Amino acid sequence: MLVCQYMSEVYQELQSQLGEVSQNEKLAPFTSFKIGGPAQYFFSAKTNEDLIKSVKLAISLSIKYFILGNGSNILISDKGFPGLVIKQDNMKISYDGTLVTAASGVRLQKLVRDVVEHNLTGLEYLIGIPGTIGGGVAGNVGTPQEGQWINEHIVSVEILDSRREIAEILKASCDFSYRNSRFKKVDNELIVSAKFELRKSTRSSIDENIKNFLRKRSHQPINLPCAGSIFRNPAEKKSWKLIDDAGLRGKKIGGAQVSEEHTNFIVNAGEATAEDVVILISYIKQQIRDKYRVQLQEEIKYIGF
Ligand SMILES: Cc1cc2nc3c(=O)[nH]c(=O)nc-3n(C[C@H](O)[C@H](O)[C@H](O)COP(=O)(O)OP(=O)(O)OC[C@H]3O[C@@H](n4cnc5c(N)ncnc54)[C@H](O)[C@@H]3O)c2cc1C
């Protein structure tokens, strides 16, 4: 009874401070896997100020919070998330010559297309990757085939730090590495925006680059819901090759299936639950460990487990 009363007070406080906050919002539609139960509370942050205010409020109310980007590298539990999900919809892009600042909610696709309009080159390899600046910078998004990663063009990142103050940190302090950064290692820093240094070029040469990168991405199973690469590549061999060699191409548990097109992708082949995916992941890890003595590590992040 007391817990219910407290929850209702929390909801009222969230609504009075933030405006539109929903309860029990289904999260599956906000993920590329199309999997996941409801958020206890859900808020769409349309500006950097919204984003910062909502995080500070969640902390002051002692409720859990989670920053949702495009949901393209996460698996949300079937039970959902017990706290406030803050969807970043802050989408401002600003220019100062060849310096470009993008808010954390800007979709990578939007940024690539926008900088083209300013005849700026450098980010074309991000075309076709379905994330936001927040998720992309946290996970140092990029293309292993081309060896290009988003950190290459970053000058600095604006964050809400662990003391709840805004700070601008230079690239060298972001601890970028293969599909990783300091933001993936700690949960108490929020990326608010990122500043990129690009180069001037001609429209035709940038368009040609984009066409080439799109062609190279055509082997990925983007027609079925998935969350990109499930595992990081171990030092020994590429994950997809280990999984393929182990005979797991097409392996299915419930509605979750190892993609026929790209074996480091698991696809939602219809009505998959998070539990199906978790069981399939653990089956793959066990098979690879037994056959090759290699311990695969997830690239995706588990939310609400
Ligand atoms: C079809 C497909 C193809 C893909 N291809 C590639 C590829 O080629 N290369 C590649 O690198 N990835 C790829 N991915 C994975 C994914 O698109 C990227 O990892 C992307 O950058 C994730 O961004 P997101 O906004 O969707 O993050 P989400 O999945 O929403 O979140 C990922 C993590 O980032 C954290 N996060 C998000 N915003 C912030 C913030 N503002 N501050 C702090 N933390 C934050 C979240 O809390 C979460 O922990 C692919 C995915 C799919 C579905």
Is 16 one of the annotated active-site residues of the chain?
Answer: no
Q: Are residues 214 and 296 in the same domain?
A: no
CA 143 – CA 253 distance, rounded (Å): 29
Whether 124 and 213 have beta carbons less than 8 Å apart is answered as yes
Catalytic pick from 32, 77, 156, 229? 229
Report the pLDDT value the prediction gives residue 147, as an integer from 0 to 100: 82
Which of 174, 189, 219 corresponds to the end of one domain? Answer: 219
- Total domains in the fold of the chain: 3
Q: Which single residue is written with the structure tokens 């933001």?
A: 183
Is 224 domain-assigned?
no
Cα 285 to ligand 1 centroid, rounded to whole Å = 22
CA distances to 103, 107, 167, 184, 227 from 30, in Å = 19, 14, 29, 20, 12
Ligand 1 atom 2: the closest Cα is on which residue?
228
Q: Is the C-beta atom of 227 inside 6 A of ligand 1?
A: yes
Report the pLDDT value the prediction gives residue 221, as an integer from 0 to 100: 55
Q: Are residues 34 and 101 in the same domain?
A: no
Is 227 domain-assigned?
no
Q: Are residues 97 and 81 in the same domain?
A: no
Query: For 233, which DSSP code?
Result: P
Ligand 1 atom 27: the closest Cα is on which residue?
135
What CATH number does the domain containing 57 carry? 3.30.43.10
Is 197 one of the annotated active-site residues of the chain?
Answer: no
Is 54 one of the annotated active-site residues of the chain?
Answer: no
Closest atom of ligand 1 relative to the 220 alpha carbon: 1
- Burial grade of 16 (CB within 10 A; 0-12, 13-18, 19 or more): exposed
Q: Are residues 72 and 110 in the same domain?
A: no
Report the pLDDT value the prediction gives residue 250, as an integer from 0 to 100: 96
Q: Are residues 76 and 103 in the same domain?
A: no
Question: Shortest CA distance to 52 belongs to which of 134, 109, 136, 114?
Answer: 134
Report the pLDDT value the prediction gives residue 144, as an integer from 0 to 100: 75
Q: Is the C-beta atom of 157 inside 6 A of ligand 1?
A: no
What CATH number does the domain containing 101 carry? 3.30.465.10
Task: Name the residue range of residue 17's domain.
Answer: 2-88
Catalytic pick from 32, 107, 179, 193? 179
Q: Are residues 253 and 266 in the same domain?
A: yes
Is 232 domain-assigned?
no
Q: What are phi and psi of 38, to 5 degrees?
A: -85, 160
Residue 287: count of CB within 10 angstroms of its CB = 17
Cα 129 to ligand 1 centroid, rounded to whole Å = 9
Cα 4 to ligand 1 centroid, rounded to whole Å = 34
Report the pLDDT value the prediction gives residue 145, as an integer from 0 to 100: 74
Is 225 domain-assigned?
no
Q: Is the C-beta atom of 135 inside 6 A of ligand 1?
A: yes
β-strands 256-258, 266-268 pairing: antiparallel
Q: Are residues 188 and 255 in the same domain?
A: no
Is 115 domain-assigned?
yes
Q: Give the three-class secondary structure for 284.
A: helix
- Tokens found for residue 291: 């056959």
Q: Are residues 76 and 99 in the same domain?
A: no
- Determine the angle formed by the axes of helices 48-60 and 2-18, rounding to 10 degrees: 160
Residue 111 corresponds to which amino acid? L
CA 236 – CA 238 distance, rounded (Å): 7
Characterise 271 by phi-psi region: left (phi > 0), alpha (psi -120 to 50), beta (else): left
- Per-residue pLDDT 10s for the chain (305 aa) are 556 677 788 999 999 999 999 999 999 999 999 999 999 999 999 999 999 999 999 999 999 999 999 999 999 999 999 999 999 999 999 999 999 999 999 999 999 999 999 999 999 999 999 999 999 999 999 987 778 999 999 999 999 998 989 999 999 999 999 889 999 888 789 999 999 999 999 999 999 999 999 888 766 656 899 999 999 999 889 999 999 999 999 999 999 999 998 999 999 999 999 999 999 999 999 999 999 999 999 999 999 99
Of 42, 52, 73, the residue with max ligand 1 atoms within 8 A of its CB, to mutate for a pocket test, comes to 73
Cα 283 to ligand 1 centroid, rounded to whole Å = 24
Is 230 domain-assigned?
no
Q: Is the C-beta atom of 104 inside 6 A of ligand 1?
A: yes
CA 87 – CA 50 distance, rounded (Å): 10
Q: Are residues 98 and 187 in the same domain?
A: yes
Q: Are residues 152 and 215 in the same domain?
A: yes
Which residues contact residue 177 at a Cβ distance below 8 angstroms, ignoring those fewer than 6 apart?
140
Question: pTM to 2 decimals?
Answer: 0.94
Q: Are residues 103 and 200 in the same domain?
A: yes
Report the pLDDT value the prediction gives residue 268, as an integer from 0 to 100: 97
CA 128 – CA 80 distance, rounded (Å): 28
Q: Is the C-beta atom of 225 inside 6 A of ligand 1?
A: no
